[in-house]
Amino acid sequence: MFPENVEWQIRQQPTHHAMIAIFRRKTRVLAAFILVLVIYLLFGLVPDRRDTLFGFTYVRTSYDWSKQALKYPISEYTPLPTGRPLSLPKVQYAFTTDTSPQGVAREAVLASRRAEVKDAFEKSWTSYKNVGFGYDELMPVSGKGRDAPGFGGWGATLVDSLSTLWIMGLKEEFYEAAAAAVTIDWADTRDTSCNFFETTIRHLGGLLGAYDLSLETALLEKAIELGDMLYMAYDTPNHMPPFWLDFANAKDGEQVAGNHDPSASVTSSSLEFTRLAQLTGDNKYYDVINRVTLVLDDWQNKTALPGMWPTFFDFAQLQLNSDNSFTLGALADSLYEYLPKTYALLGGLEPMYEKLYRGAMDTVIKNLLFRPMTPDQDDILFSGNVYVSSDTGAHLTAEGQHLACFVGGMFGLGGQLFNIPEHLEIGEKITRGCVWAYDAMPTGIMPEIFNLFKCETLDPCEWDEAQWENEANTQLKKGFKNARDPRYLLRPEAIESVFLMYRMTGNSEYQEMAWRMFQAIRKATETELAFSSIASVRDTVTEKTDSMESFWLAETLRYFYLIFSSPDLVNLDEYVLNTEAHPLKRPR
């Protein structure tokens, strides 16, 4: 409604009419003033969680976990190791700039490849953004958004992609995404619990990595809020975390560790919690992950396969010998991955991580690694699975997993950090094995899980044609027994190791492998909107399964982009990458 023109009424009407109009105007003003006052009293005194913080409109979580009383308080925290970080061996190859005509031409090729990877990311990101930052994932065929079970509905792809946006130079999109991320309310969820591991590596790792790249303090503040919530997972009778962080149980002090939890899920927080302790100066975060590491140290040589830890843990009873299966693949992977990485993040000041790595890899080399039997006697390795029987001892299954392709990069990193040259060599052979498996399939992509024929030792062995014909699916490349799970889920582990091997050796052959892999993945998975998991890598006309997990943007495309970029971009002597590829700054 427009306000009345009182001056016009005074000029055109007798005085008493004008006075009536003025009175009416004053009455309306008074009524409006009273209405505003009532609204203020009703709503203005309610605390507003929306602040302007470091240039962002920041929404504080509606439940402050930092003020939650602990059922099992810790009287004295183990502090972060102190002292000047050690002068550790260089991880990254000493690259030089080639200014020759050949070098300039090569850089032009890499720039073109980089641009194509960036285009794939932007296509995926734009489609995700269009369905809404509030969803965890985009469904890349139907165009819908979905929330992943146990992820809280906290925008997993949003937070997971922050570092990629920054690394690819998409600064406008980064700040748009960061502005959305700092409004997340960790208490605003339909879920009654969250997946402790996934929330740690994707959300907490994503916020910390984005902060370490951008130094935007609002992102660190949001990470601290989340860290305080995740810290409650350790408020159990023995301070070991469960698989699920149940919010009601955490508030009531009723949490207990699980008796059959995946070992990776309950041991893979050391990078994120250590970095949070370094950035905040609060030792409580380091204390809890150090307690877990001490348990690993205590049990390393008391399991059914001394040197390694089983796939599943009974953390409730602190019995790590109740399972006789051992793997570097699904369910156990990042337990081992984080050993050399946490050593690096702590500047080498905690030697226990080197000890655990060396002991575990000695056992892996003797028991889990195998060389596949192939007609060409390819010099490649894979990491299989071992089951220890009380009757027959350790039995190796020659199974390959896409998830286990990270092992090549892990061996390389351990070899560099701990000056073990043979580990770098092993890492190269495992990485080349994964690339061999990519090249073996009609789509140019390796399956999720497959079985191979193995040599009896890590040395070359003669090809057995009769065995292959009798036992294998002969439609597959010779060397494969089967492809029992033929899916490709947009996973990053193979390109992760290819990237790391390139950065550690300087061998440009790895860039050619990466380009071949990227072209194959793009061709097999691209949809109108983005990129999708596929049902089978054996079918050149692929069936899209309408799934695009956040690691596609956080890891897979990030590694592809980095391998074609300047080696100074996320230098491995300056950063440690968590298992979701989030770069955490190493101390100096």
The residues annotated as belonging to the active site are: 198, 333, 448, 493
Q: Cα Rg for the chain, rounded, in angstroms?
A: 28
Two tokens at 199?
A: 């929330």
User: Torsion angle, CA of 375/381/383/388, rounded to 10 degrees?
Assistant: 70
**How many Cβ atoms are within 10 Å of 464's Cβ, its own excluded?**
13
- Determine how β-strand 480-485 pairs with β-strand 449-452: antiparallel
* Beta bridge mates, 385: 327, 397
E strand or H helix at 562: helix 557-563
Two tokens at 149?
A: 């079970």
Helix (H, G, I), strand (E, B) or coil at 355: helix
Question: What does residue 106 show for φ and ψ, rounded to 5 degrees?
Answer: -65, -40
Please say whether the beta carbons of 458 and 413 come within 8 A: no
- Separation of alpha carbons 555 and 326, rounded Å: 26
- List Cα–Cα distances, 473 to 3, 400, 511, in angstroms: 84, 16, 32
Residue 586: closest CA among 578, 569, 574, 572: 574
- Separation of alpha carbons 1 and 25, rounded Å: 14
Two tokens at 404?
A: 């286990």
Two tokens at 115?
A: 């641009």
Two tokens at 382?
A: 């894979």
Residues near 65 by beta carbon (within 8 Å), at least 6 away in sequence: 186, 225, 228, 229, 231, 232
Two tokens at 87?
A: 């002068």
Task: Tell me the helix, strand and coil percentages in the chain, rounded to 5.
Answer: 50, 10, 40
| SS3 readout for 499-544 | HHHHHHHCCCHHHHHHHHHHHHHHHHHECCCCECCECCCCCCCCCE
- Separation of alpha carbons 434 and 499, rounded Å: 13
Residue 272: closest CA among 255, 296, 288: 288
Residue 82: closest CA among 355, 367, 277: 277
